[in-house]
């Protein structure tokens, strides 16, 4: 997936500026500048006990691939943690801003200490950095990504254009992502579990009835329907719904006719109509006298 290089989407390096580097590097040649940068990074990087570090409870990513973690843990056993974690000091511990996957794998590998860079960020910056890191690595499932976008909008009062700029996505992509949160929770879980694709999920948004939406999602999974199949199914359902709506409208009209005939004849009247504009009128009577009265009424109407 191509990533547009704008705003915070330039990468984590652009989010973690090196204050010591800016003034010294300006007056030096390029080669010396590179040397200074490497030296400063070395000084900023320290090691912390892994027990002193805890994950960010608000980080967008909730699901981690266990097999991938085991593979990374095997690599860490051989070569160590090659890229430092970004952490922030909290009361009594250090909170991970970027690198929770490495931290989890290091724990699996039995590592006692990990390299870290300690930084100080606002709550909004923490969310943005965590979101960008995961998006750049394509680690988030569609629902996790949508929840993170919504949080930037609601909790930090950003506009959709601002969110799009920060994560290097189009405004349409951000909008379509958040629309997935309108899905039934059971359907959202099916999307998280890779039982249906994002394309399937977006097609199912056309169904407002949550139970029907879930049943259709199950059908997609059971019958291995393609996105095109689901789109055709949605069109068919929309056509049926339109026909039912027209039928309901007609039903109201026929009920009104029946009520007027009831008032005119003084007895119960039912109209059974068919789709071809034909049907039956049923007039109830409850005695021979009432039948004779109706007959007389019809004769008088005819004679008039």
Pair 148, 131: CB distance under 8 Å: yes
Closest Cα to residue 206, out of 170, 232, 175?
232
Sign of CA dihedral 1, 174, 142, 124: positive
Among 56, 41, 111, 133, smallest CA distance to 87 is for 56
Mean pLDDT value across residues 153-163: 85
pLDDT of residue 40: 34
- Using DSSP's 3-state secondary structure scheme, residue 65 falls into coil
| Closest CA relative to residue 142, chosen from 301, 291, 1 | 1
Please tell me the distance from the alpha carbon of residue 15 to that of residue 8, in angstroms, as a whole number: 7
pTM of whole model > 0.75? no
Of the candidate ranges 61-65, 83-87, 101-105, the one whose mean pLDDT is the lowest: 61-65
Q: In which residue ranges of the chain is CATH 3.90.1530.30 found? A: 8-121
Residue 77 and residue 71: Cα distance in Å, rounded? 10
57-71, 99-113, 278-292: least confidently modelled range: 57-71
Was domain 8-121 assigned CATH 3.90.1530.30?
yes
Q: Are strands 93-98 and 279-283 parallel, antiparallel or unpaired?
A: unpaired
Q: Which tokens sit at 136?
A: 């750049």
Lowest mean pLDDT among 29-43, 70-84, 92-106, 157-171: 29-43
d(CA 146, CA 144): 5
pLDDT tops 90 at residue 106: yes
Catalytic residue set? 100
pLDDT at 300: 77
Q: Are 202 and 231 in contact (CB under 8 A)?
A: no
Quickly state the pLDDT bin for 204 (edges 50, 70, 90): very high
Position 244 confidence tier, pLDDT thresholds 50, 70, 90? low
Give the number of other CB atoms < 10 A from CB of residue 178. Answer: 18
Distance in angstroms (rounded) separating the CA atoms of residues 67 and 22? 41
Segment 20-49, tens digit of pLDDT: 343 333 333 333 333 333 333 344 888 999
Can you tell me whether residue 49 is helix, strand or coil?
Answer: strand
Percent of the chain with pLDDT over 90: 31
Pairwise CA distance, residues 117 & 86, whole Å: 5
248-297 residue pLDDT tens: 566 667 777 778 777 788 888 888 877 667 788 888 888 888 887 888 78
Cα(93)–Cα(96) distance, rounded to whole angstroms?
10
Q: Which of 53, 119, 136, 122 is nearest to 92 (CA)?
A: 53
CA dihedral over 228, 230, 233, 239, signed as positive or negative: negative
Q: Which residues pair with 114 in a beta bridge?
A: 48
Which stretch of DSSP H or E encloses residue 101? helix 100-109
pLDDT digits (tens, 9 = 90+) for 121-140: 888 788 777 777 767 666 67
């Amino acid at each position: 997936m191509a990533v547009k290089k704008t705003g915070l989407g330039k990468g984590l390096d652009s989010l973690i500026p090196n204050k010591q580097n800016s003034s010294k590097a300006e007056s030096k040649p390029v080669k010396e500048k590179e040397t200074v940068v490497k030296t400063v990074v070395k000084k900023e990087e320290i090691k912390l006990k892994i027990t002193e570090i805890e994950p960010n409870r608000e980080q967008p990513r909730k699901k981690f691939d266990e097999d991938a973690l085991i593979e990374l843990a095997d690599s860490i056993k051989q070569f160590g943690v090659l890229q430092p974690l970004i952490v922030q000091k909290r009361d009594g511990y250090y909170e991970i801003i970027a690198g929770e996957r490495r931290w989890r794998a290091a724990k699996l590998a039995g590592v006692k200490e990990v390299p870290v860079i300690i930084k100080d960020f606002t709550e909004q910056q923490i969310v943005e950095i965590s979101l960008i890191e995961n998006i750049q690595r394509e680690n988030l499932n569609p629902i996790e990504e949508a929840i993170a976008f919504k949080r930037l909008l609601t909790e930090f009062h950003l506009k959709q254009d601002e969110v799009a700029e920060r994560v290097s996505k189009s405004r349409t992509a951000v909008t379509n992502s958040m629309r997935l949160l309108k899905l039934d929770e059971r359907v959202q879980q099916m999307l998280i579990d890779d039982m249906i694709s994002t394309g399937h999920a977006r097609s199912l948004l056309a169904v407002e009835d949550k139970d029907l939406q879930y049943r259709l999602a199950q059908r997609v999974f059971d019958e291995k329907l393609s996105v095109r199949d689901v789109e055709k199914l949605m069109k068919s359902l929309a056509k049926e719904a339109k026909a039912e709506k027209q039928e309901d409208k007609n039903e109201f009209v026929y009920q009104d006719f029946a009520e007027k005939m009831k008032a005119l004849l003084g007895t119960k009247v039912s109209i059974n109509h068919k789709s071809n504009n034909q049907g039956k009128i049923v007039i109830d009577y409850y005695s021979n006298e009432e039948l004779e009265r109706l007959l007389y009424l019809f004769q008088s109407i005819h004679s008039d």
